[in-house]
Amino acid sequence: MHSPLTLAALEVMDKELPLWLICLGCFSIGAIGMLSARRRPVLCVPCIALVLLATLALYWEFSDSYVGGSIVQEAGFGYLAGTAVSLLAGILMPLFGAFAGENQLERSAPAWRWISGVSGAMLLCLMLVLGSGWVQELYYNYILFPKIKADDGYIMPLRWQDIVAQLLIASLLTGLFLLSSQLLRSAFRPKRNHDTLARAPSSLENPR
């Protein structure tokens, strides 16, 4: 038997974003900002602004005495810590991309490889978890349940809203897969021969 305070906490957590979704959003925005800011450092600004807006919204949510206490009671401090780490990563990743772009990538290549590899692996894992749940939902809602109801003489109609929603989810999963692939490819990309590239302009300036 749940106490009234426990039931209230459950009602609060039903309205909160799950931790995996917060991690997915922050790491996705951070990865996009890191990759784009490496080419143009100014592009880190909009990504950081998005994460800061999310941070402000979540701060208002958690700072409420009723909501914050209910979240801690139901989800524990791990939820707050995971949210804080995700938001911090979403801010620091674009900043690191801008730093690597301004200070030449070869000077920060080891750190870039580690951060890209870890970020890509985390996004890939989150994408696989989300994708497996999506495939399972597709199987139950559009294969198993329609088959069971068809045996009873009922045909389940397929609405255009369902098709659009599933296409959007498929596009999101594809985008996450491409983003994680780009991060992992950047992490494991073979080193370039910088000495050869550095000597190439001098050979062009003094042709024989």
pLDDT tens, position by position, 64-86: 777 777 777 777 788 889 999 99
- Domain with 56, as residue range(s), is 1-103
Side-chain-side CA neighbours of 74 within 13 Å: the count stands at 23
Domain co-membership, 55 together with 137: no
pTM: 0.71
Counted domains in the chain = 2
Shared domain for 17 and 72, answered yes or no, is: yes
Q: Does some domain include residue 208?
A: no
Same domain, yes or no: 92 and 129 = no
182 plus 140 within the same structural domain? yes
Same domain? For 95 and 155 the reply is no
Last residue of a domain, one of 84, 103, 122: 103
Residues 26, 49: one domain? Answer: yes
Residue scoring higher pLDDT (150 or 180)? 180
Do 158 and 185 fall into the same domain?
Answer: yes
Please give the pLDDT value at position 29. 92
In terms of average pLDDT, the best of 7-21, 138-152, 163-177, 185-199 is: 163-177
List all residues 6 or more positions away from 150 whose beta carbon is below 8 Å from its beta carbon. 156
Tell me which residue has tokens 């990563």.
89
**Is residue 80 included in any domain, yes or no?**
yes
Q: Are 114 and 93 in contact (CB under 8 A)?
A: no
**How far is residue 66's CA from residue 161's CA, in Å, rounded to a whole number?**
37
